[in-house]
Amino acid sequence: MRRGPWLWAAALAVYAFLYLPLTIVVVYSFNDSRLNAEWVGFTWHWYEVLLHDEEMLLAAGNSLFIAFVSSLVATLLGTMAGIAMHRYRLKSLTFMVLTPVAMPEILLGVSLLLFFIQVLNLTLGMLSIILAHITFSIGFVAVIVRARLAGMDENLFEAARDLGASPWETFRYVTFPLILPAIVAGGLMAFTLSIDDFVITFFTAGVGVQTLPLRIYSMIKIAVTPEVNAVSTLLMLLTLTMIVLAARFAPDVLKGKA
Amino acid sequence: MSDERKLSRAVRITKWLVSGPPFVYLLLFFVAPSIIMVLASFRYPGEFGGLAPLATGDPATLQGLTLETYQFFFSDVIYGYVFFKSFLVALATTLICLLLAYPLSLLIARSPKKSRDLMVLLVILPFASNFLIRVYAWMIILGPQAAFSQAVNGLLAALGVAPVHLLFSPFAVLVGMVYVHLPFMVLPLYTNLEKHDPALLDAAQDLGANAWQRFWRVTFPLSLPGIFSGSALVFIPVLGMFAIPDILGGTGDMLIGNLIKEQFLGTRDWPFGSTLSIMLTIAVLLIVWVAARLGGRRHYA
């Protein structure tokens, strides 16, 4: 294979570009200095600050609750959508599932803001955030489930029917066990997307509720301390765990994600 | 009822049971809000933000439908300028991403099968960390006291140039945009390059093509569909991005996204915010159309 030294050098430079910034964030989370400028010495101080930051802990709790509820509902609806898209080829449903994923996030954020306030007369808060998160998560779950279904042998379902299984039994004993890894991977993906979402949450949260990304945003905008580095490092660990889990349940998901 | 008909009825009911719930949910929380936004763009702003009532009976207050927001949009060049600037930033981001992603994708595609997955995973992994963290990392690197800024300004001083402020500048915005969107370019490009038949390059070599000709006349044209889909995946989100200019840019680095955010959360002129959002949607649709045409034509070439 043709892999010259120039190709290697360029590729390694890009890998360095990808990893260096995040490494700096992690390293400075252990730095005994208020400034993110030079290495002074090792400390756990910023993690202790984090543990006593009531607002941050509250925001983390909110984020986990929102991610749990929204990913649960989105997994159910997304799985149904994935099956429907595969089996019935409904063009309108496919359009509705994929467009929110492909559009700039801000458009979904502001249109939901308008809708919640002007039409539903809803006070922005936990509920509006959860409803918004479900909307953008459905697409990701549906795409993963559909990809799994598309890769399966149709003869399996045929065989089940020939053996006298009802549509429900075919689903319960053949389809469901086969797509379960994709459902789990989709659910983990929805959970991660919800925990991480900033833009759509920013528009649908109102003033009363803070999530982790919203809290990080206001810290970055107002006063940067290495506490941001500490919470970032912990958040990276959490996401990493989710990815490892997703990869174990559905190894093909990571490859075909885009 | 015959068994046949009972079965087809069961199939129909199943179809509605499966597709109904996601259909209704998205109709309610995606389609309806989009329609409301189109309607809102033809309304007057309310006295205290939001929308003015459609009909009050009081002739003194603004009510009903209007084209005013659209006239306003086209009457002031500043809005066209912000759109143009956002377009340039998106274009520059896309080109830089392409330049960085191409050699990396090529290397991964030409690596042994068993190491490819790991190399792709290494591209996705940083992308999985929180978006704000990835932007924040550049706040540290480009900050005035950071080693990078010191080195750049040291170099400039040696050349006799006045020191520059890297953070809160268009440069910082561009770096942040490229950093956040790079994986969107690598993945489709790699997926395309991986499918190329190495025999084509051998054939080109046998026919006397040198390394540059082999790349420019064989690999590159074949990779165009990958380039177009990667470009769309980078260009579209960058066009609507507000957080990166907000965090890394200065006051003069407003893009469409910042303008829209300002209308909805700052000045609370929702009709005009909706108009801007619709203009952004139209811009995105145009880009999708162009990308589809460019990509589509290549398939038959």
In the numeric block, the tokens 């090792």 are attached to A42
B117 assigned to some structural domain:
yes
Q: pLDDT means per 10 residues in chain A (258 residues)?
A: 77 90 88 76 83 88 94 94 88 88 90 90 89 93 88 84 84 87 88 90 89 91 84 86 75 49
Highest averaged pLDDT of the listed ranges A102-106, A253-257, B96-100, B216-220:
B96-100
Contact indicator for B273, A118 with CB cutoff of 8 Å: no
A159 to chain B, minimum CA–CA distance in Å?
Answer: 17
| Whole-angstrom distance, CA of residue B291 vs CA of residue B137 | 32
- Which helix (DSSP H) or strand (DSSP E) does residue B125 occupy? helix B113-127
Interface of A with B in 14-43 (CB under 8 A): 14-15, 17-22, 24-25, 28, 35-38
pLDDT of A248 reads 74
Percent of chain B with pLDDT over 70: 90
How many domains does chain B divide into?
A: 1
Contact indicator for A34, B198 with CB cutoff of 8 Å: no
pLDDT over 80 at B281, yes or no? yes
A232 to chain B, minimum CA–CA distance in Å?
Answer: 6
**Chain B positions in Cβ-Cβ contact with residue A78 (cut-off 8 Å):** 22
Contact indicator for A175, B14 with CB cutoff of 8 Å: no
What backbone phi and psi angles, to 5 degrees, belong to A257? -60, -40
B241 assigned to some structural domain:
yes
**B18/A87 touch (CB, cutoff 8 Å), yes or no:** yes
CB nearest A258 (choices: B106, B128, B188): B188
B26 assigned to some structural domain:
no
B115-124, B165-174, B251-260, B291-300: least confident range? B291-300
B42 assigned to some structural domain:
no
Strand extents, DSSP E, chain B: none
Expressed as residue numbers, the domain containing B188 is 73-300
B66 assigned to some structural domain:
no
pLDDT of B299 reads 46
Highest averaged pLDDT of the listed ranges A121-125, B187-191, B211-215, B289-293:
B187-191
| Whole-angstrom distance, CA of residue A251 vs CA of residue A36 | 38
B264 assigned to some structural domain:
yes
pLDDT of B3 reads 65
Mean pLDDT to the nearest integer, B100-107: 92
pLDDT of B76 reads 83
Longest CA–CA span in chain B (Å) reads 93
Write b or e for each residue in A126-164: b if 16 or more Cβ atoms lie within 10 A of its Cβ, otherwise e. Answer: bbbbbbbbbbbbbbbbbbbbbbbbeeeeeeebeebeeee
B169 to chain A, minimum CA–CA distance in Å?
Answer: 15
pLDDT over 90 at B290, yes or no? no
- pTM score above 0.80: yes
pLDDT of B99 reads 94
> In CATH, what number is assigned to the domain containing residue B244?
1.10.3720.10
Instruction: With H, G, I as helix, E, B as strand and everything else as coil, classify residue A85.
Output: helix
**B93 token code pair:** 């981001």
Spatial neighbors of B173 by CB under 8 A, at least 6 apart, are B89, B244, B245, B248, B249, B253
Digit-coded pLDDT (tens) for B159-207: 888 878 888 888 999 999 999 999 899 988 998 888 888 888 888 888 8
Write b or e for each residue in A10-22: b if 16 or more Cβ atoms lie within 10 A of its Cβ, otherwise e. Answer: bbeebeebbeebb
**B126/A19 touch (CB, cutoff 8 Å), yes or no:** yes
B9 assigned to some structural domain:
no
What backbone phi and psi angles, to 5 degrees, belong to B49? 85, 175
Q: How many CB pairs under 8 A join A and B?
A: 249
B201 assigned to some structural domain:
yes
Q: What is the mean pLDDT of chain B?
A: 85
pLDDT of B185 reads 92
